Amino acid sequence: HARPRRTRLEHPGRTADGHAVALLANVGDPAGAVAAADVGAEGIGLFRTEFGFLGRTAPPTVQEQVAAYAQVFAAFPGRRVVIRTLDAGADKPLPFVTAAGEPNPALGVRGLRTSWAHPAVLDDQLAAIAQAAASSSADVWVMAPMVATADEADAFVDRCTAHGLAHAGIMVEVPAAALRSADLLDRARFASLGTNDLTQYAMAADRELAGLAQLSTPWQPAVLSLVQLACAGGVARDRPVGVCGEAAADPALAPVLVGLGVTSLSMTARALPDVGAVLASVTLDECRALAALALAQRTPDEARSAVRASLGDVLDELG
């Protein structure tokens, strides 16, 4: 029979043989950060900052942003907090940075691209992050969404450096970035795989369309291959490569991601206890074997079934 459901992460993330994999939370506002700390998250792997910008006609002021970011940092003293700069565009249009009427907004000016025409929005945000970080003990990392090229990664690192933010990284959500991650990680200090968008762009399947669910799964072997390539680039540059897409919250997929070379997993806080339990039950070599097993399949269903069968009892015990 099923065990009572775990509600707290009791230990830092590690495999059965002690390989550390930080288990972090995705949060979208300061209250979410407090809730994630209550669950026992080791830090925040994705703080989505859109909440402060949505539903407004102008960006929040620097002081408004400082107040919000300071609350998030205060929830994780001494811990890693990865804050993502504004990801406007596509499903999150904002009148002051995105153009209305793009024929294909998911392929338009979104994420970091909005800062080309509106550099002040990014600069104000980085100034606010730096100011909030200065009076907190959190280990503040900053990353940009929708980075496609090494030039974009370098430009972002330069902006962060200008604000005294030394730990600048990139989200890998575009297949081009996964294929060439070593180039992007030349100067960017870390990468975080946004598997929701990476899957959307790899499969050319709108993530909002339920009718394309069979395509829109991170179990697609092509997506797993992109994850593997992105991780190889991280190894080449000695940079950590995490995952902050929904894929990290799937207890069967999490050990596969670790086996592919992923160094941290960030997810909705409620998924942390189960993912932590699965991870603690497998060695790093077993994760690598699961990754090889998944990559050897031709379809997402075959990959998921093969991995689930191999994990067997571990998944059943989650209840």
Q: Of the two residues 24 and 284, which places its CB atom closer to ligand PEP in the complex?
A: 24
26 annotated as belonging to a binding site for a ligand: no
| Spatial contact of 203 and 226, defined as CB atoms under 8 Å apart | no
Handedness of CA 312, 313, 316, 319 (dihedral sign): negative
Tokens 């490569």 correspond to what residue? 241
48 annotated as belonging to a binding site for a ligand: yes
By beta carbon distance, the residue nearest Mg ion is 197
Least separation in angstroms between CB 196 and Mg ion:
5
Least separation in angstroms between CB 206 and ligand PEP:
13
Q: Of the two residues 112 and 314, which places its CB atom closer to ligand PEP in the complex?
A: 112
Least separation in angstroms between CB 2 and ligand PEP:
30
Least separation in angstroms between CB 264 and ligand PEP:
13
Q: b/e per residue, 35-55, with b = 16+ CB within 10 A? A: bbbebbbbbbbbbbbebbbee
195 binds ligand PEP (CB under 6 A): yes
Q: Of the two residues 245 and 259, which places its CB atom closer to ligand PEP in the complex?
A: 245
104 annotated as belonging to a binding site for a ligand: no
205 binds ligand PEP (CB under 6 A): no
194 binds Mg ion (CB under 5 A): yes
- Spell out the SS3 assignment of 23-63: EEEEECCHHHHHHHHHHCCCCEEEEECHHHCCCCCCCCCHH
250 binds ligand PEP (CB under 6 A): no
Q: How far is the C-alpha of 180 from the C-alpha of 6, rounded, in Å?
A: 39
DSSP for 194-253 reads -HHHHHHHHHT--TT-GGGTTTS-TTSHHHHHHHHHHHHHHHHTT--EEE-SGGGG-TTH
84 annotated as belonging to a binding site for a ligand: yes
Tokens 């097993």 correspond to what residue? 293
173 binds ligand PEP (CB under 6 A): yes
List of residues contacting ligand PEP (CB under 6 A): 46, 48, 87, 173, 194-197, 244-245
Q: Point out the annotated binding site for Mg(2+).
A: 173, 197
List of residues contacting Mg ion (CB under 5 A): 173, 194, 197
